[in-house]
A = this chain, B = another copy of it.
Amino acid sequence: MHMDSRLLWGTVEMLILEVVAQGPTYGYEISQTVGERSRGYFDLKEGSLYPALHRMEQQKLLTSFWDEVDGRRRKYYKLSIKGQTTLDEKKAAWKAFSQGVNGVLGAQFAG
């Protein structure tokens, strides 16, 4: 099949990339933002979040730098060019996937 079969698992990465695309942010805040923007639907677990961040940094989709605010160390992430490209691809893949599902369901799930 022409779809990325790992798309389903990869949704988390897309969500993280999307949030980071809005501007430099860090793990804890990403988790909060994803929760808020999905109206509480998503609750990114640390066991998914941090491994994903590390994975994506290794793949050079993200770059990172440490900062300290109010005595708290934060690891900030920034989107790379490659990360932006990947995000665009993942969004296109998500669109195709959801259209595929809705096609089978014969439904119109308009956001």
Residues of A within 8 A of B (CB): 1-3, 8-9, 11, 14-15, 18-19, 34, 37-43, 45, 91, 94-111
Shortest Cβ gap from A10 to chain B (Å): 9
Known: A9-B9, A38-B103, A41-B99. 20 other contacts (CB 8 A): A2-B40, A8-B9, A14-B105, A15-B104, A34-B104, A37-B106, A38-B99, A39-B103, A41-B97, A41-B103, A42-B100, A42-B104, A91-B105, A94-B101, A94-B105, A95-B109, A103-B111, A108-B110, A109-B111, A110-B111
| A41/B1 in contact, CB under 8 A | yes
28 A-B Cβ contacts within 8 A?
A: A1-B41, A1-B43, A2-B43, A8-B9, A14-B105, A15-B101, A15-B104, A15-B105, A18-B104, A37-B103, A37-B104, A38-B99, A38-B100, A38-B103, A39-B100, A41-B97, A41-B99, A41-B103, A42-B100, A91-B105, A94-B105, A95-B109, A98-B98, A98-B109, A103-B111, A108-B110, A110-B110, A110-B111
